[in-house]
Amino acid sequence: MTTKNLLVELFVEELPPKALQKLGDAFAGVLFEQLQAQGLTSADTIVTPYASPRRLAAHISHIWLKAEDKPVQIKLMPVAVGLDAQGHATPALLKKLAAIGADIDPTDPAAVAASLHRAPDGKAEALFYHSLVTGATLDMGLQKALDEAIAKLPIPKVMTYQLESDCELPGWSSVHFVRPAHGLVALHGSTVVPVKALGLQAGHNTQGHRFEAAVSPVVIQNADSYAATLARDGAVIASFTERRAEIARQLAAAAERIGNGVRPIDDAALLDEVTALVERPNVLVCQFEQEFLDVPQECLILTMKANQKYFPLLDAAGKLTHQFLVVSNISPQDASAVVQGNERVVRPRLADAKFFFDQDRKKTLASRVEFLDKVVYHNKLGTQGERVQRVRAIAHAIAQQLGDVALPQWIDQAALLAKTDLVTDMVGEFPELQGIMGRYYALNDGLPADVADAIEDHYKPRFAGDTLPRNTTGVVVALADKLETLVGMFGIGNLPTGDRDPFALRRHALGVIRMLVEKDLPLDLGTLLASAVPAFGDKIQDATPALADFIYDRLAGALREQGYRAQEVEAVLALRPQRLAEVAKRLEAVRAFAALPEAPALAAANKRVGNILKKAGEVDAHVNPALLQEQAEQDLFAALQRFVPEANAQFEAGDYTTSLQTLAVLRAPVDVFFDDVMVNAEAMDVRLNRQGLLKVLHVAMNRVADLSRLAA
């Protein structure tokens, strides 16, 4: 018996475009996993998913018609329970055999006992039943796999529709699926596998392009001809990946034909969505009136992308041009009607954007501040107007900590106006433009560029990899805005859960971290959080300890993603360094220290010292030289006297690497100390003095990081 390739396709009505690729991958993936679990795949099996606007399919190579039979051993019970004194099967054993469906005649207890296998099981001996499980056939195995694949599809929203009953009883049956299904293909080689799904019987036939298919239905002769047959007879590129690559190729070619260095906007999400909307792409060049270019290009780009799924064209300098690209699903000989239709459709959208922009500029941002008092932010935290006042207070506190006397006026103005574009017509229509439009309107009002930039930038970073605010004013207002959200939400107990974070608190925490680190701000995290609390009055409880833990957790995760080892991160963050900008330097110092030959012994000793001091309770870092009796403790004290001041000076100068390397010389006296000295001496004054010596050592060794975390 040889393997053959398998093809399964569900032909449905238009699938949700933003979920199409995920649906296609999941459909193919679960089919393969289920067939593999039933032993119907081979070591050479390869899965190829297909997904187009109206189909989900999978080509799975090297599939057996029937899986191999498998021997199975089932543990029954201890021999003492399953056999009586004569060695015959007991009623309990017969009942167990019947429950598992064993093919044994229960009328002869002696024969039953003889047919079972006895083997040691722990301290006792147990009875085992051996049988041969018949391998699954492809008919049954694929049916199970198909049912499972349909049940496990990550469907955004399920539809319910009716099918006329195909049984003798008249009526309709309800079907629940992402979209109404109209066809099912299941081929093993060229043979139809007789499976059913969603009220459909599998066959050879599917449908091609709605308008451009050469034949209807499209007949798939065998599993391997699926993609080629659909392309030839159905005018459909079945592969999502191939269709996406073809669209990208046509976009680039169309831009090159236009010349002058123009290029389509780079937007992977838009490309994915358009790929999910067309079966055979045809890129066309369209244009709009140049007068619309007076509107900020972000507005025009957003309306073309979000509403029409068009690809705006940018010139060599990154400025929007009056031309754009459309990915059509039809390829007529004369495409002028399609081009004119798309140009006619986009014109009202651009006109709306121009109208909103012109109307919004008739009012200053300052005149809109009062309207924020009518916009609810959170039922426990008040309106956007109240929120603005809190952001202003927090920004003022941050400016004071930075000590720049020139900042407060601009910072306060930017914080006051940062949210005012929320009550403009443009942002009301396109919320994604908040901040961006605020900058344009601020410049229109004649405000300083630093203030205008800060209004846009106070939302940054909006996502992973986003840029940071471009000036100090923007950084301070952005910090204040994110701290207001974090402190406020933690203060009312509105914390993120494993799968829900509606106020994007994780993203806000990472934004705070990035600004403190990448801008190298001389701000202490604890002071920063504490300075934000008074702005809320009695609206919140002080939850800054929990918030600090949350921020350090986010920082730890970010550092691990950057390639630092978990031990290194734990060692540094265990000390809760307040200047987050110093964390990277501490990590590099720890990494350099860990590479030293003395590091393992010192880390282990540090852990031992920590345990001793923990058991001792409160210990003063003080040593009386007169009470140092043993040579080993005298030598350790002398080494501390010599090297700790040098290491401390290097630490204070920010040279953490050299500071730790200076202390590495303590390994020898520390090792001898633990070999020769009993810390818990009977004489209390000697014991306390030795604990004080260890405390001095512990403090000195752990200024950069908790080195005990490096111990194996």
Average pLDDT value over all residues in the chain: 91
pLDDT of 712: 63
- 230-249 b/e with 16+ CB inside 10 Å = b? bbebbbbbbbbeebbebbbe
User: How far is the C-alpha of 289 from the C-alpha of 283, rounded, in Å?
Assistant: 20
Rounded to a whole number, what is the largest CA-CA distance in the chain? 105
Distances in Å between the alpha carbon of 604 and those of 594, 599, 699?
A: 12, 8, 15
3-class SS at 562?
Answer: coil
Measured CA to CA, the distance from residue 198 to residue 153 in angstroms comes to: 14
Sheet holding 124-133, edge to edge: 70-78, 124-133, 117-121
Please give the distance of CA 185 from its chain centroid, rounded to a whole number. Answer: 35
Look at 345-354, 512-521, 666-675 and tell me which has the smallest mean pLDDT: 666-675
In tens, the pLDDT along 655-712 reads 999 999 999 999 999 999 888 889 888 889 888 988 989 899 999 999 999 998 998 6
- The beta strand positions in 495-627, using DSSP E, are none
**Nearest CA to 127 among 92, 153, 172?**
92
Q: What does the pLDDT average to over 475-500?
A: 94
Q: What pLDDT, on a 0 to 100 scale, did the predictor assign at position 170?
A: 55
Say yes or no: domain 369-563 is CATH 1.10.3210.
yes
What percentage of the chain exceeds 70 in pLDDT? 98
Please report the pLDDT score of residue 1 as a whole number. Answer: 63
DSSP conformation class of 168: S
Q: What six digits make up the tokens of 582?
A: 């110093």
Burial class (CB in 10 A: 0-12, 13-18, 19+), 208: buried
Residue 389: alpha-carbon gap to chain centroid: 33
The per-residue pLDDT for range 356-385, each reduced to its tens digit, is 999 999 999 999 999 999 999 999 999 999
Average pLDDT over residues 621-649: 91
pLDDT tens column, 84-112: 878 888 888 778 878 877 777 777 777 77
For 39-180, list the strands marked E by DSSP: 47-52, 55-63, 70-78, 117-121, 124-133, 159-164, 172-177
Q: How far is CA 333 from the centre of its chain?
A: 45
Question: Average pLDDT, stretch 532-544?
Answer: 95
The pLDDT assigned to 570 comes to 95
| Both tokens assigned to 414 | 């930017």
Residues 192-197: contacts with CB under 8 Å, at least 24 apart? 193/6, 193/138, 193/139, 193/142, 194/139, 195/139, 195/142, 195/143, 195/146, 196/143, 197/10, 197/146, 197/147, 197/150
Domain boundaries, the chain: 4-67+137-233, 70-133, 240-360, 369-563, 585-710
Q: Which of 130-134, 135-139, 253-257, 264-268 has the weakest average pLDDT?
A: 130-134
- The confidence band for 492, taking pLDDT boundaries of 50, 70 and 90, is very high
pLDDT of 475 = 96
131 has a pLDDT exceeding 90: no
The confidence score (pLDDT) of residue 546 equals 95
pTM, two decimals, is: 0.80
The Cα 527–Cα 397 span in angstroms is 10
Closest alpha carbon to 27 in 13, 8, 40, 41: 8
d(CA 644, CA 701): 9
327, containing H or E segment: strand 320-328
Residue with tokens 């309306």: 303
157, two tokens: 């929203």
Residue 478 near residue 395, CB atoms below 8 Å: no
The token pair that represents 699 in the structure block: 């403090």
- Work out the pLDDT band at 342, boundaries 50, 70, 90: very high
**Tokens read off for 338:** 């399609």
Q: For residue 162, list its beta bridge partners.
A: 174
Residue 275 has which token pair?
Answer: 């790929």
CA angle centred on 270, ends 269 and 276, rounded to 5°:
95
Q: Do domains 369-563 and 585-710 have the same CATH topology?
A: no
Peptide bond into 154 cis (omega under 30): no
Dihedral class, residue 637 (left if φ above 0, else alpha if ψ from -120 to 50, else beta)? alpha
pLDDT at 405: 62
282-336 residue pLDDT tens:
999 999 999 999 999 999 999 999 889 999 999 999 999 999 999 999 999 999 9
Q: How many other C-beta atoms are found inside a 10 Å radius of the C-beta of residue 571? A: 26
Q: Are 144 and 186 in contact (CB under 8 A)?
A: no
Q: Which two tokens stand for residue 518?
A: 């990448």
For the residues 30-38, what does the mean pLDDT come to?
94
Residue 423 banded pLDDT, cuts 50, 70, 90: very high
Q: Which of 327, 19, 32 is nearest to 179 (CA)?
A: 19
CATH number of 585-710: 1.10.730
Contact 238, 55 (CB under 8 A): yes
